[in-house]
Amino acid sequence: MKMREIWPAGIIILWALIGLVAPWLPLEPNAISLDLILQSPIQSRGLGFDDLGRPLLDRLIYGATTSFLVAFWVVGLASLAGTLIGSFSAYIGGFWDRLLVHIIDLFLAFPGILLAIALAGILGPGIENVVIALTVVGWVGYARLARAQVLSLKSRDHVQAAIALGVPHGRIVRTHLLPLISAPLIVEATFGIAAVVVAEAGLSFLGLGVQPPEASWGSMIRDGTRYLLVAPHMVLVPGLAMVAVVLAVNLLGDRLRDRLDVRGGGE
């Protein structure tokens, strides 16, 4: 394995491990030390302190937990729902397929992040509502991809033979179609992780994500913008962490796409 493949995977594994074990680490992300307010990494231990004297390293780790959990649940739920809806719609065809196309077109008519902001605003702030809002927005891409793939596969001989033998439709989709469309869906899910990390940070930046004193990379950046000239580390620490994760995920997605030989295709 080449170095350009190792370091993105290493960053993603580190991010996932931190996201899973952070609640059990001896950290104090909300501990206030007035004598350490706005101290930079050069002046103090760790990665410095914020405007309330809270340790940025501890808050960065807890922010990783927030982004990882949101990405895990959103990508998992959206990919599952979108794949099932798109696959069965394309396989059945007719009215339900035309209805799905119109629903997809309706969702695609609005910028995804704006729709997520509107839904999060209606549902209210909180990590659970962020997951719901991003899932409602995110399933469309998986449904569109799954539908296009199934439309190109359902006329193949092994599918037609299964239909002629009276195999139940659900079993045909599960055993004859889903395994063949899994490669492009995995690549789509990989890129979806990066999109969700950015979207969650954006919603938290706007105050629609996790609420104080809970940590999120987006809320950390928002708090740091007020002190950008005197304490740039408050923005740089979470910003660079988010850039590293998103870049690593996108590079891994590119490598997966090359390895799985996934080519873009239309309907």
Q: What is the pLDDT of residues 179-219, one digit of tens each?
A: 888 888 999 999 999 999 999 999 999 888 888 888 899 99
Rounded CA separation 3/94 (Å): 49
Examine the pLDDT at 267 and tell me if it is beyond 80: no
Instruction: Render pLDDT for 24-58 as a digit per residue (tens, 0 to 9).
Output: 888 888 888 888 889 888 887 788 899 899 999 99
pLDDT higher than 50, residue 230:
yes
Which range has the worst mean pLDDT, 159-168, 198-207, 228-237, 256-265?
256-265
- For the chain, where are the alpha helices, taking DSSP H only? 3-21, 56-92, 94-108, 112-123, 127-153, 157-164, 169-172, 178-205, 217-225, 233-260
193/104 Cα distance (integer angstroms): 20
pLDDT at 160 exceeding the cut of 90: no
Please name the fold of domain 47-260: MetI-like fold (1.10.3720)
How far apart, in whole angstroms, are the C-alpha atoms of residue 182 and residue 188? Answer: 10
The β-bridge partners of 176 are: none
Specify the pTM: 0.88
What is the C-alpha to C-alpha distance for residues 172 and 165, in angstroms, rounded to an integer?
Answer: 11
Instruction: Look at residue 261 in the predicted model and tell me its pLDDT.
Output: 66
Summarised one tens digit per residue, pLDDT across range 44-98 is 778 889 989 999 999 999 999 999 999 999 999 999 999 999 988 888 888 888 9
Question: Quick one: pLDDT at residue 216?
Answer: 92
pLDDT of residue 120: 87
What are the C-alpha distances in Å from 19 to residues 73, 113, 242, 262? 13, 24, 13, 30
- Please tell me which residue, 82 or 258, carries the higher pLDDT value: 82
pLDDT, mean over the chain: 87
The rounded distance, in Å, linking the Cα atoms of 202 and 196 is 10
User: Is the predicted pLDDT of residue 220 greater than 90, yes or no?
Assistant: yes
- Rg from Cα positions in the chain: 22
Burial class (CB in 10 A: 0-12, 13-18, 19+), 57: middle
Do 44 and 57 form a contact (C-beta atoms < 8 A)?
Answer: no
Where in the chain are the domains?
47-260
Amino acid at 91: Y
Amino acid at 46: G
The answer on pLDDT for 263 being more than 60 is no
Report d(CA 105, CA 135) in Å as an integer.
17
Entry field: residues in the chain: 267
Question: In this predicted structure, what is the pLDDT of residue 143?
Answer: 93
